[in-house]
Amino acid sequence: MERRALLKTLALAASAAATGLGSPTLFAQQKTVKVGVLHSLSGTMAISETVLKDVVLMAVDEINANGGVMGYKVEAVVVDPASNWPLFAEKARQLLTQEKVAVVFGCWTSVSRKSVLPVFEELNGLLFYPVQYEGEEISKNVFYTGAAPNQQAIPAVEYLMSKEGGGAQRWVLLGTDYVYPRTTNKILRAFLKSKGVAEADIMEEYTPFGHTDYQTIIAKIKKFAAEGKKTAVVSTINGDSNVPFYKELGNQGLKATDVPVVAFSVGEEELRGVDTKPLVGHLAAWNYFMSLKNPENDAWKKKWAEYTKAKKLPYAGKPLTNDPMEAAYVGVYMWKQAAEKAKSFDVDKVRVATYGQSFKAPDGFTIKMDEKNHHLHKPVFIGEVKADGQFNVVWKTPGPIKAQPWSPFIAGNEKKKDEPALMAAKQ
């Protein structure tokens, strides 16, 4: 019997060698670990999320080309929740229970993240979430690689209030009607009032996902701005509504010199389909811009251009990079490094190993995952729109700053601000 088993093993090995699978590297890569990719590839958020799917796949290909993770080939399982928030939860459950993925990279809107959160907590899955958000959350099952409000919204408003940023005194808080804009604006409203801004000098407006007619709202903004004080617009509009919003800005001649708009969800990708000439000087606040000049960014942009060409992606002719792409890319490598440190794909072991992980990012800084709060320390940049759809950086922090998931401008958060995720992980 032992001789028969030996002969069978030798025959299988010979067969593998004959088909080109006998090399040690390829043989090792028959071991696979699955990772989930949970981004909208259709619907109103596809304009922003499709490219995140592709940059995750690029990172996976890079990792596999360099031997995988602990000798395991990474297999990406891509699903399309189609900008449908309940469907995000269904697809997350599918990835964790049917596909048995070790980790999921995905979501954009906070409503999609809130939809999947109970699933990840129930099943003890692991999500890397790559987009700026409103804070007010720490989960042991989520690592947040995008910005918290103190790493984007607060610095942007402080800049616009400053002499350098134009000295704004009146504020329009304009957003898509869901949790991220409403909570961010709640924080900003409290922040503005702490700076002495009167209630009469704050205008707040919301539109549904997919909204296309901004003619009336922009007319209201022009009227509000004509009442004497320097006015600025803070935009938390998400998805494809940004295209008609910026087109209408141009149509009504609302220039940055009159009423500057600072956006938290508009980057290079969202401006791809917009005539940016009338938008020159309007602002965006992010933790990365494609226009940053440093060796890491140069190398990353080159890799992305080569990848889009090799994969014949729709944007191969104009391969843009943006902030959520960088955050998604960093998240994949944070997970890889943590798994290798833990010597395991076990969620609990990988979670603890992620604390303190660092990565030299395309933003030019070595960014670190906080040892307690599941958020990255990130630099902040404010950029002006240029005629070519790129951004000229006009302000930046000296280096990465620590996230404050619990905003000090929300009542009651003083008791939460030092809550350690490490304690939650041990519960």
> How many helices and strands (H and E) does the chain possess?
13, 15
How far apart, in whole angstroms, are the C-alpha atoms of residue 323 and residue 303? Answer: 16
Interval 331-344 mean pLDDT: 98
Query: Which H/E stretch holds residue 171?
Result: strand 170-176
Residue 162, sorted as left (phi over 0), alpha (psi -120 to 50) or beta, turns out to be beta
Neighbours of 346 (CB within 10 A): 15
Tens-digit pLDDT profile for residues 369-394 = 999 999 999 999 999 999 999 999 99
**What does the pLDDT read at residue 414?**
75
How far apart, in whole angstroms, are the C-alpha atoms of residue 419 and residue 20? Answer: 53
| 3-class DSSP state of 361 | coil
**What does the pLDDT read at residue 63?**
98
Q: State the sign of the Cα–Cα–Cα–Cα dihedral 122, 127, 129, 135.
A: positive
**What does the pLDDT read at residue 419?**
52
**What does the pLDDT read at residue 96?**
98
Tens-digit pLDDT profile for residues 219-234 = 999 999 999 899 999 9
Q: What contacts 185, CB < 8 A, 6 or more positions away?
A: 173, 175, 204, 234, 236
Does pLDDT of 12 surpass 70? no
**What does the pLDDT read at residue 2?**
41
Tens-digit pLDDT profile for residues 167-197 = 999 999 999 999 999 999 999 999 999 999 9
Distances from the Cα of 338 to the Cα of 83, 146, 147, 345, angstroms: 30, 18, 21, 9
CA 74 to chain centroid, in Å, comes to 22
- What's the pTM? 0.89
Tens-digit pLDDT profile for residues 262-282 = 999 889 988 887 889 888 999
**What does the pLDDT read at residue 395?**
97
Residue labelled with tokens 């350098």:
164
Is residue 156 within 8 A of residue 262, CB to CB? The reply is yes
- The residue count of the chain comes to 427
Tens-digit pLDDT profile for residues 284-331 = 999 999 999 999 999 999 999 999 999 999 999 999 999 999 999 999
Interval 36-44 mean pLDDT: 97
Task: Write out the E strands in 82-219.
Answer: 103-106, 127-129, 142-144, 170-176, 202-207
pLDDT band at residue 13, thresholds of 50, 70 and 90? Answer: very low
Is residue 128 within 8 A of residue 331, CB to CB? The reply is yes
pLDDT band at residue 30, thresholds of 50, 70 and 90? Answer: confident
CA dihedral of residues 234, 238, 243, 245 (deg, nearest 10): -40
Is residue 219 within 8 A of residue 252, CB to CB? The reply is yes
CA 386 to chain centroid, in Å, comes to 22
Residue labelled with tokens 């290798």:
340
Tens-digit pLDDT profile for residues 81-95 = 999 999 999 999 999
Does pLDDT of 17 surpass 80? no
